[in-house]
């Protein structure tokens, strides 16, 4: 039996590019059709434009296309989780709809997969929209890799990658709702291998990320993979206390030995402001973690599906199959 490769694409307001994307992927995958079954699985992440209608049309015309329509916009990370749960392939290629990541790289990824690698990740040769983004992104990744030592973050890579079924099943088992998938790829391990590619400008449409969303993702990345900020807060607390203590002795000595009167107001003000700011910062950091705990303990389903069409993995059927198997075994 032929192995199946699922191309998984989250879509949020991409009406200008979906058809281009579909054509580009079809051109790349058709020559491989004698060796692999393949399909495209679009996850409509609450698009407000005509993306869903376009997907529906493509699905009716092309048996290789399937789509899952989420009940609203859940964000790319959750859309990818939904996609992985529905993807039926022995390998799943996650790729954006905007053709910034060239589908021509997919056959190279499949070749490496056949060599035995489980997580073949696209490694960007030229990547950033601006020098500022390059600086912030590199600094952030260094920081994250530094503070969470169990993670071996692969540099210059994003969500464009081929994952073996083993990796997909592992990612599905991680149920956190505030996901930083780039960290999760590192967390699950498995045999990794880079494939280089040149990132392109968007085929059409606009980027869905703004500074606010990027900051949220960055905070999620740190708080979901490390407790270093908490530790840092307590370290800073200790350092401040020790410094304050030394200063206290110095002031006391000066007053006792030299009989110097101490100017009270300015010193007091500095100390109060410094400590007040520091305490607020520490509280904020604790709050970030507490907020995550609060959200995760509610165990809400990460997403809701309003419709699914095409050749996807039917988890409800699988669950009831398992159920039957269990019952016959008992």
Give the residues lining the site for ligand UDP (CB under 6 A). 10-12, 14, 45, 73, 75-76, 79, 96-98, 100, 207-209
Residues 6+ apart with CB under 8 A from 124: 156, 157, 158, 196, 197, 198, 199
Is 45 a binder of Mg ion (CB under 5 A)? Answer: no
Measured from the CB atom, the residue of 131 and 263 that comes closer to ligand UDP is 131
Q: 299 exposed, middle or buried (CB, 10 Å; 0-12, 13-18, 19+)?
A: exposed
CB of 217 to ligand UDP, least distance (A): 10
233 binds, among Mg ion, ligand UDP, none (CB under 5 to 8 A by kind): none
How far apart, in whole angstroms, are the C-alpha atoms of residue 41 and residue 18? 12
Instruction: Sheet containing 305-309: give its strands across.
Output: 192-197, 119-124, 157-164, 91-94, 3-11, 36-44, 65-70, 305-309
Measured from the CB atom, the residue of 73 and 240 that comes closer to ligand UDP is 73
Measured from the CB atom, the residue of 96 and 164 that comes closer to Mg ion is 96
- For residues 164 and 115, is the Cβ–Cβ distance under 8 A? no
Is 100 a binder of Mg ion (CB under 5 A)? Answer: yes
Angle, CA of 83, 165 and 189, to the nearest 5°: 100
225 binds, among ligand UDP, Mg ion, none (CB under 5 to 8 A by kind): none
209 binds, among ligand UDP, Mg ion, none (CB under 5 to 8 A by kind): ligand UDP
Q: Which range of residues in 55-63, 93-101, 214-222, 270-278 is near Mg ion by CB under 5 A?
A: 93-101
3-state secondary structure of 206: coil
Measured from the CB atom, the residue of 99 and 233 that comes closer to ligand UDP is 99
10 binds, among Mg ion, ligand UDP, none (CB under 5 to 8 A by kind): ligand UDP
14 binds, among Mg ion, ligand UDP, none (CB under 5 to 8 A by kind): ligand UDP
CB of 73 to ligand UDP, least distance (A): 5
- 262 DSSP assignment: P
Q: What's the per-residue H, E or C state across 149-177?
A: CCCCCCCCEEEEEEEEHHHHHHHHHCCCC
How far apart, in whole angstroms, are the C-alpha atoms of residue 131 and residue 121? 24
97 binds, among ligand UDP, Mg ion, none (CB under 5 to 8 A by kind): ligand UDP
Residue 58 parent element (H or E): helix 51-61
Q: Which range of residues in 52-60, 97-105, 187-195, 287-295 is near Mg ion by CB under 5 A?
A: 97-105
- Footprint of Mg ion (CB under 5 A): 96, 98, 100
């Amino acid at each position: 039996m032929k192995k199946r490769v699922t191309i998984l694409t989250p879509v949020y307001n991409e009406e200008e590019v979906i058809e281009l994307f579909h054509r580009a992927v079809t051109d790349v995958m058709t020559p491989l059709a004698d060796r692999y079954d393949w399909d495209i699985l679009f996850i409509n992440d609450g698009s407000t434009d005509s993306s869903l209608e376009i997907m529906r049309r493509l699905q009716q015309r092309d048996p290789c296309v399937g789509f899952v329509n989420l009940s609203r916009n859940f964000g790319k990370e959750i859309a990818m989780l939904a996609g992985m749960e529905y993807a039926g392939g022995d390998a799943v290629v996650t790729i954006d709809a905007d053709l910034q990541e060239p589908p021509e790289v997919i056959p190279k990824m499949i070749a490496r997969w056949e060599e035995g690698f489980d997580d073949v990740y696209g490694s960007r040769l030229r990547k950033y929209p601006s020098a500022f983004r390059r600086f912030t992104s590199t600094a952030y990744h260094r920081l994250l890799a530094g503070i969470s030592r169990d993670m071996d973050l692969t540099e210059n890579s994003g969500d464009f990658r081929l994952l073996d079924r083993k990796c997909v099943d592992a990612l599905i088992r991680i149920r956190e709702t505030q996901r930083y998938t780039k960290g999760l790829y590192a967390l699950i391990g498995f045999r990794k291998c880079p494939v280089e590619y040149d990132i392109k400008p968007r085929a059409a449409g606009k980027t869905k990320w703004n500074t606010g969303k990027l900051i949220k993702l960055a905070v999620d990345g740190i708080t979901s993979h490390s407790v270093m900020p908490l530790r840092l807060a307590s370290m800073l607390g200790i350092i401040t206390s020790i410094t304050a203590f030394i200063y206290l002795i110095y002031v006391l000595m000066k007053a006792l030995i030299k009989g110097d009167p101490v100017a009270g107001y300015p010193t007091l003000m500095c100390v109060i402001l410094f400590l007040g700011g520091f305490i607020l910062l520490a509280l904020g950091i604790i709050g970030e973690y507490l907020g995550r705990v609060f959200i995760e303990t509610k165990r809400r389903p990460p997403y809701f599906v309003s419709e699914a069409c095409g050749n996807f993995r039917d988890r409800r059927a699988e669950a009831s199959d398992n159920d039957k198997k269990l019952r016959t075994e008992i």
